[in-house]
């Protein structure tokens, strides 16, 4: 139990250190791809950074991205994050990646609505963006070519309903096909490129590239408010434990204190009776 407490304490301090070390000097906006494993994050980033034939961000069916990988273009720094699965340390790296980001592309593959774990992560993300959440978190429905247009539209509608009803915000959503884009570029077929909708997303990113430092400041403000709340909560928990232990000790020594008090009274009375020389 003590080890667990120490571990939680250490984690909180590490988080605090990371926040203190965070650089919020204005620079290129950081665009992070975030989502479950194999959602298509790395493929999306390869397309956005023009890595058509060679992979900058490695894609694989197995968990490939166990660290943050970045690529800098003229306008942005693109960041790939480990796939979320809510059960290991890689999620912490993914969260660190999201913490650095000015824009997050939340990538979801169209097997259905957002899963609970995705909603939970999106909630944290949305909270951390404060007033910029709706503008700077973008839902990306990847691999849209694996489903009919009607199916994609239904999933997109459902995802936006979940965001509105469960999370209280309405982000933009882009249904993209990386493979159409790839084929379009390779085969020089503009129709396929257009149908991939990748440039729509790219244009939207360009439009967002305005005041990255304002987003950073807002995110830092939110993060600091959160960590102050966490530190206060941890302090209260420690104070409670400390007070409880102290009470236990005080109660434990009560019989001794009472015995000593009785002895004192007895000695005082006895001494009073003593005929002094």
Interacting residues with other proteins (CB under 8 A): 2, 6, 9, 12-13, 16, 19-20, 217, 220-221, 224-225, 227-228, 231-232, 234-235, 238-239, 241-242, 245-246, 248-250, 252-253, 255-261, 263-264, 266-267, 270-271, 273-277
**76 near 28, Cβ under 8 Å?**
yes
Min separation Cβ 246 and other proteins, Å = 6
C-alpha 14/C-alpha 12 separation (Å) is 5
Q: Residue 260 in 3-state DSSP?
A: helix
Residue 156: which residues within 8 A CB-CB, separation 6 or more?
141, 173, 175
Q: How far is the CB of 12 from other proteins (least distance, A)?
A: 8
Q: How far is the CB of 171 from other proteins (least distance, A)?
A: 25
**Closer Cβ to other proteins, 2 or 62, answer by number:** 2
Q: Give the residue with the Cβ less far from other proteins, 14 or 66.
A: 14
Q: Which is nearer to other proteins, 191 or 275 (CB)?
A: 275
Task: State both tokens at 138.
Answer: 């973008």
How many Cα atoms sit within 13 Å of 229 on the Cβ side? 6
Q: Closest Cα partner for 185 from 44, 41, 50? A: 50
Whichever of 63 and 241 has its CB closer to other proteins, that residue is 241
Query: With contact defined as beta carbons under 8 Å apart, do 44 and 33 qualify?
Result: yes
Minimal distance, residue 20 CB to other proteins, in Å: 7
Q: Which is nearer to other proteins, 18 or 202 (CB)?
A: 18
Min CB(257)–other proteins separation in Å: 6
85: closest CA among 120, 55, 50, 40?
Answer: 120
């Amino acid at each position: 139990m003590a080890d667990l407490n120490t571990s939680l304490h250490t984690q909180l301090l590490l988080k605090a250190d990371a926040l203190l070390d965070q650089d919020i000097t204005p620079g290129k906006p950081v665009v992070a791809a975030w989502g479950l494993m194999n959602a298509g994050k790395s493929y999306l980033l390869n397309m956005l950074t023009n890595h058509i034939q060679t992979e900058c961000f490695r894609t694989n069916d197995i968990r490939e991205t166990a660290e943050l990988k970045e690529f800098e273009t003229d306008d942005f720094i693109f960041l790939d994050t480990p796939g979320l699965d809510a059960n290991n340390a890689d999620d912490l790296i993914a969260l660190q990646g999201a913490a650095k980001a000015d824009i997050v592309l939340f990538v979801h593959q169209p097997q259905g609505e957002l899963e609970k774990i995705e909603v939970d992560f999106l909630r944290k993300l949305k909270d951390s963006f404060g007033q910029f959440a709706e503008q700077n978190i973008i839902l990306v429905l990847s691999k849209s070519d694996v489903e009919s247009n009607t199916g994609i539209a239904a999933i997109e509608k459902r995802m936006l309903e979940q965001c509105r009803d469960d999370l209280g915000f309405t982000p933009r959503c882009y249904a993209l096909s990386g493979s159409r884009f790839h084929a379009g570029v390779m085969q020089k077929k503009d129709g396929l490129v257009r149908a991939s909708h990748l440039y729509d997303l790219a244009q939207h990113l360009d439009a967002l590239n305005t005041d990255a430092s304002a987003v950073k400041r807002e995110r830092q403000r939110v993060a600091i408010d959160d960590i102050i709340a966490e530190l206060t909560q941890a302090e209260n928990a420690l104070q409670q434990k400390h007070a409880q232990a102290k009470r236990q000790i005080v109660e434990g020594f009560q019989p001794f204190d009472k015995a000593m008090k009785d002895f004192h009274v007895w000695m005082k009375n006895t001494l009073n009776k003593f005929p002094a020389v």
